[in-house]
């Protein structure tokens, strides 16, 4: 969970290495099953271009809400590239 008061942003672990090994192409559809703060998802969206999609999943609805706010404020051009889900997990 990301606190609203938190001033420093979470730094994604092994971001460069992850993006390189995925060998992403324009137009790819990619699933990020652990969205969290969205660091990896944002970089993936940048690499796959306007025709690509990131299906981002997180069990925590607050993580999805925080991410929606973040991309609208920081990366508005990336918003259409995301499909955000939280209610796919059975109770």
How far are the Cα atoms of 5, 18, 25, 65 from residue 21, in angstroms, in the given order?
A: 34, 5, 12, 29
Residue 5 lies in a domain: no
DSSP summary character for residue 76:
G
Place of tokens 């796919």: 88
pTM of the model: 0.86
Residue 40: domain span? 25-85
pLDDT tens sequence across 23-45 = 999 999 999 999 999 999 999 99
pLDDT at residue 50, as a whole number: 96
Structural domain count, the chain:
1
In which band, very low, low, confident or very high, does the pLDDT at 1 lie, cut at 50, 70 and 90? very low
Count of positions (residues) in the chain: 91
Cα–Cα dist 72/70, whole Å = 6
Looking at the domain assignment, is residue 67 inside a domain? yes
CATH code: domain of residue 29: 3.40.50.150
Three-class secondary structure of residue 27 per DSSP: coil
Where does the pLDDT of residue 65 fall: very low under 50, low under 70, confident under 90, or very high at 90 and above?
very high
**What is the distance, to the nearest Å, from the Cα of residue 27 to the centroid of all Cα atoms in its chain?**
16
- Structure tokens that stand for 50 in this block: 């306007």
Beta partners for 8?
Answer: none
- Is residue 79 included in any domain, yes or no? yes
């Amino acid at each position: 969970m990301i606190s609203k008061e938190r001033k420093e942003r979470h730094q994604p672990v092994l971001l460069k290495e992850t993006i390189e090994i995925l060998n992403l192409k324009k137009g790819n559809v990619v699933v990020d099953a652990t969205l969290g703060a969205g660091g990896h998802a944002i970089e993936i969206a940048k690499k796959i271009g306007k025709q690509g999609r990131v299906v981002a999943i997180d069990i925590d609805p607050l993580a999805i809400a925080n991410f929606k706010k973040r991309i609208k404020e920081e990366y508005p051009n990336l918003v259409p590239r995301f499909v955000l889900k939280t209610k796919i997990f059975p109770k």
